[in-house]
Structure formats: C-alpha cells, structure tokens
Structure 1
C-alpha cells in the first residue's frame, strides 16, 4: 500500500485536456461578434431596403391605379385593335411583347422597344381592353414588369443606385447573413436557458439578450433562405453558383421550335409581325392549354415563331411556354414547367419567394416580418455591445484560448471548410481574413498593455 501511494505521488502530474466545445463556442462567439459589429451596417441597409421592396408591390398598385385598371366592361376588343390603339399614340420603337388584360377591370400592356431607354427597360403602353383608350405609358423594367416606383426601389435594394460597385454591399450582406444566423442559433441553443420565448422578467442586458436570442432563433430559417437566394444574384458568388448549375445540369431549359431558341427574344422585339396575328397566336396558345396571365413575345426576325408565356408566379405556378408559327398559327414547340428538373423548379420558386410573388400578399408580409426581425436583431446586438462596452477602446469578447484550445483534429477540418467556403463566396473569405487580421492586431495591442 505504501509503495503504491509513493508511486502515485511520484508520477508526473497530468494536464487535463481542454474541452473541445467550449473552445469552439468561444470562436463562434468571437466570429459572431465581429460580424455583428462590422457587417451589421450592411445587413441593416439590406433589411431596410428589402422591407421597402416587399411593400413596393402594393405601392405600385396605388400609385399607378389609373394605368393598371380600367372600368370593367362586357365585351373586349380584339387584341389586334388594342395594339393598334397603342401604336397610334406611341408609334416610336417596335413591339417587343404584349400582356393582354388578365382579368376584368385591368388593362392590356403593350411593351415597346423604344430608343433611348435604359437596358432591360421598355415603354409600357396601357390600353383599356373594352374601349381601346390609352390610359398612359410608363417605363417597365425586367421580366417582372416593374413600373418606375418599384423599379427604383428594386435598384435601391440591389445596389443603392451606385451601379456595379454598389452591388458589393448586397453581396457582402448576403454572404454573411447565413453565417451570422447559424452562429447565433448555435450560440443561443448552447445557452443553458435555450428559451424559445424572450424572458420578460429579465432586465437590462439579460432582457436584451433574451429578445435577441429567441427572435433570432425563430427567424433563422427565413434568414438562411434570403441569404441563399440572394447569393444567386450576386456578382462573384453568383458566378460560382452558375458554374455548379451548369455542371450538374440544373439550368433552366429553354424553349425550342426546331428552328432555334426563341425564348431569348424577350428584350429584342423585332416587331416584324402584324398586329392582326396576335389574336390567332393567343388562340393557338390557349388551344395548347395555356391560360392567363399571358405574355406574347414578338419574334426578333421575320418568319421566326412567336413565344407565348404563362406569367402566373403565384403558387401553384403556371409557367408553361409555347412557340407559335406566324404563318400557320400552329404550335411548333412546347416547354412545360412540369418537365423542368427539380433543381430548376427549386431555383424558380426560390427566386419568386425572395421577390415576394410566390405566395402573393402573404409572401410579402412574411418578407416584411423577416426584415423587421433582422432590423430588431441588429439594434439589440448593438445595444448589448453598448451595455458591455469597455471603458477604453474597442474590445471583442474573450477568446478563452481561441484556436489553440481546439484540438487539431477538429480545427483542421473546420479550417478546410472555411477555406472552401471562402473561395466559393469570395467576399466572405476576404472579409473573414480581414477580421482575423484585426483580431490579431487587437490581441497584440492587448498583450502589450
């Protein structure tokens, strides 16, 4: 017994191995802090402009109610006469497409490729389908047909009217949104309270933290959705997404009539067909099963086929397309949304959900709620930092050992994933390196003190 005790006393003292999760949690907390303080301004701008965009659909209907609506009548004029009425008032340019009145009380929209208009913009002439009266003309942007107010808000949300350099702000916000959302959810779920509801009995910092954590947890899925769909429109990450889609065959199929692809004629609009052809084109498309709202795209070259598209973006969507021969009025090509690859459908649904059209007004309300939630999280985050602010200078939360406390078997794969994600999402990778550099500088300054 004595020898055993002596042997234990003489044995070298073992240093306890550091726990992996506390060290990882400290790193996540540090990253969440830096992203919250330094990236939050970009997220705040994106959320505010996104909130405005979600409301822009209703704003558009109010501002342009005269152009978009007409007194409901019993009989509708032939589409050819409606187009002729629009051309009589606006003879400039060529016909690019026509969107017949989708329901009683709405106007027909004749889209003209007029000179001196910005890229992806057409002149939309609004015609009363019952009387042929032209009720106005406005610039129409993109495939969604955004009118000036909504187009201005959309551009403001996309790049703050700063052009291509301005798109860096929205890509940076989308690049970090999923990181901040996931990191916050992990931190809150690892908290001992794990509350799904804010603690209303708490006061001060604890009350703010309770609201920040619980609300953030509830909207995490929505924030991940906005981040993923937003990155598909970005410059650098979006280009990588396109490469993956092409490599995996996830691209959206195109309509072909055997004589070439006609789906890409939108935006060119040769206007070579006569207005009398439009009625026959519509009847042929309806005979193929298409129903309104429709868009008839004029062919870019003489003898090429018309393209007729279903424009219903609300669930359940109708996105079928047909190509109609101008001379015979026969359907010479079909593209059914039901035949799209699943990935292409998911991309379509994701884009429409991000834009707020997939579920109509409900979709827009959900987007507004997400935007308000994100704005609240940012405000609460800054309030927590202010309540815990150091008396001097800028200080991040303690690293509690930082990366040195994390076992190499864990740190190595985490680092490899971070590098891969940083390469795929370049603005995330570059800003992450900047955060690490700032952290090292602050650490050396603190150590010097």
Structure 2
C-alpha cells in the first residue's frame, strides 16, 4: 500500500466518522423533538399569556378587581370588609388580601359549605361587595394550571420534568447540527422561499440558535415545579430545619402544618412549618384582624400582602407578600393573642441556593426586570412556537411517503456509545429524564428491528 493510498484511507475514515456522528446526533435530536415539541408549544402559549397575568386579569375581571380611587377617603376596617363579604356569602373567612394599589379591591377568601372556597371582592372605601369567584378562579389561574399541567394530576406534572430535560438535550444536539460546516447560508441567514424545504431548515436552525439560551433557562428555572426533581431539591435545600432559612427559626412552639398548605408562598418556603400561638393556653383574647393588619402595616409589609386568619385556638396570623421586587418578599407570623411577631422571614434571610432559585423563578415569571423581562420572554415564547412549526414543516417535506422519516442510522454504531454516555449523565441528574431515555432506547431498538424484519 502506497503512502498516497494510506492518506486517502485516513481522510475517508475521518469523513465517515464525522458523518456517523452527525447522523447519531441528528437521530437523537429528532427523537427529542418528537417528545418535546408538543409540550413546548403548549408551554410557550400558556407561558406567554401568564407573563401578563396582572394586566390580563385586571382587564377581564375589572368589575371585581378595580374600584374608583377616592382621594382623601379613609378605607373601611378590614373586619368590616370581612363582615360584608360574610353577609353575602356565609361561611368562614380564612384570608384577607390587602389592596395592592389605591384603585384595587380587597379580596376576602371564604370557606363555604355549598360552594367551597370563594374569593369575594370588596370595595375598600365603602365595604360594598363587588362579586365573587371560586378561589383561584380567575382566567390567569386557569392558564397557570394549564401551564403546569396541574389540572391533570401529579403524574401529568412529571411530564414537565421530562420535557424540561429533553428540551436541554434538544438545544445541545441542535447546536451541534447548526455548527457551520462551510455552508454559505442557514447559519445566520435564511435561504430560499417557504415552498422549499431549505427555507424551513434555515428558519429552524437560525431561530433555534437565537432562542436556545432561553429554552435552557426556562427549562432549568421551571424545574422547581416539576413532579419529582423539584420536590426532592426543595427538601434538600431546606435541610432538616423545617424549611426555614438558616438563622431565621426561633424558639417558638411549632405546629405540624406547612406554610404552603395555608398560604401562597415562595418555592423556598413551601416546607416551612408554621408556629403556634402560645397565648391560647392562658385563655387570652385574640387581638382580631384589624389589629393584626395594623401590625403588618407597622412592620412595613409591601402593599398587596395576604393575611391568613387563624381558625384554631393555637393558629397564627400569617402575613405574606411576593411582589415583583424580590427584596420585598416577606412572611411574618403573629401570635393571635399578643400580636407579637413569632417569625419574620424575608428574601435577605434565604441561603445562596434559595436566593438563586427564587431569582430564577421570578425571572421565569417575567417579574424581575419589569416590562423588559415580559417582552423578552414573550419574544422567546413566539420564537419557540416558530421553532416547533418550522420543525414540523421541515419534517413533513423531508419525510418519505409512508415512513416516519427517522434520520438514518450511522454506519458505525460505536458512535452511539459516547453520545449515550453523555445522555446518561443527564439521566442521573434528572431521574425521570433517565427513565424516559431508557424507554426511548427501547423504542428505537424495536423500530430498527421492525424495519429489518420488513425488509426480509
């Protein structure tokens, strides 16, 4: 064998190796897209709407949520607003939500026998009842539950974790496929017209490279709400201190109730236990809602805070608020008999992990950087939908008649080993993703085997 032959053989082998790796990555990019893109479209649509939750809810439910501002007028006492709400909807008042702005109504949550929990809206100036909805019955709560798949049970919510993990894989393999290989287009420009497949290929590639960062960011910051990973990380992050950040818990009697069960709270405090009011053992008289609200005002809670009203002898008044500004997040528990703050928690008290996670969640919700945050993520949601649509059109144009159009297998199957090893690392970090990876490997093997049997 001559030197020239050896050189050509070496070049040919390297070309085949690169081609085989490209085919392997392309095949798994296809599978990731097949699994994830339907979810990504749903998440992008519902997420894009939820970015403007306050604006949309205020417009749709303006008759309940908005009131005429009365400059100089005093607000009705919280207890008077609660009494007005109970007069129209008899039951047990469990929460009072302070108006966030001068033009906003107060919200009273009432537990009723006939209709379950109701959110009753009251004019804070006149104590007039404006109307009621089922608790968390606004349009935006519906969108939020659709976004998280909460309507479909805990098993469906596990799909969020799988979709998030595979979307990261989708971006990683997509970057490899996009990487310039001496082509003149399809890197930052789109060639052809919508009638040609190359147009949709380039549209998909260029859109993907610009929106890939946002897909990964949204996937990672959405993981805290996932079925298994989010719960386990929450438990680990909170450690053995009942969920309270280090240095916040004080020596007060604690109940078995968790904060997430009685009030909307931040992710970091979902496992936090609620203290007990010690005064009930001494037959003391409760201070009442008006005094509790006055205390929360004096402590400086951000307007719009919610007050959970104790319904048991050892319960506490819990004031909690989660405004767009992370630094104003706060939860305060008051002894219902003395009004003494038992525990006072704020964002500044979270540990480094808690702060990082809460920052990610707040940005994910479009709150951290105001309107810019909303508009940037809205553009990302639109781009994700375009990414999914272009992928479907591109696949349809490439797909052979009567075939699923799975990208071809590499000639050398050994290239799969390194790729699967990398995928396995992700499977260890995200167990449900790892389980789905095993399922996909099994389905791919069955697909290959069925193709071979049909060709015999």
TM score, norm. by length of structure 1: 0.81
Matches within 5 A, 1:41-440: 41-73=38-70, 74-75=72-73, 76-93=75-92, 95-115=93-113, 122-141=117-136, 147-159=137-149, 161-193=151-183, 197-200=188-191, 204-242=196-234, 244-246=236-238, 253=245, 256=249, 258-261=251-254, 264=258, 267-268=261-262, 277-302=288-313, 304-312=315-323, 314-405=324-415, 411=417, 415-440=420-445
- Distance (Å, rounded) in 2 between the aligned partners of 1:310 and 1:405: 53
The structural deviation recorded for 1:100 is 1.4
| CA pair 101-426 structure 1, distance change in 2 beyond 3 A | same
- Distance (Å, rounded) in 1 between the aligned partners of 2:242 and 2:205: 36
| CA pair 233-415 structure 1, distance change in 2 beyond 3 A | same
- Distance (Å, rounded) in 2 between the aligned partners of 1:133 and 1:333: 34
Q: Deviations over 1:392-438 (max 9, x none)?
A: 423322333354247xxxx45x5444334224434422332333334
SS for the counterpart of 1:293 is coil
- Distance (Å, rounded) in 2 between the aligned partners of 1:293 and 1:157: 25
The structural deviation recorded for 1:28 is 1.6
Given that 1:37 and 1:382 are in contact with CA atoms closer than 8 Å, whether structure 2 keeps it comes out as: no
- Distance (Å, rounded) in 2 between the aligned partners of 1:132 and 1:311: 25
Gaps of 5+ in 1: 1-7, 142-146
- Distance (Å, rounded) in 2 between the aligned partners of 1:321 and 1:177: 35
Given that 1:159 and 1:165 are in contact with CA atoms closer than 8 Å, whether structure 2 keeps it comes out as: no
Gaps of 5+ in 2: 264-275
| CA pair 228-397 structure 1, distance change in 2 beyond 3 A | same
Given that 2:191 and 2:199 are in contact with CA atoms closer than 8 Å, whether structure 1 keeps it comes out as: yes
| CA pair 180-318 structure 1, distance change in 2 beyond 3 A | same
Given that 1:188 and 1:213 are in contact with CA atoms closer than 8 Å, whether structure 2 keeps it comes out as: yes
The structural deviation recorded for 1:265 is 5.2
The structural deviation recorded for 1:216 is 0.9
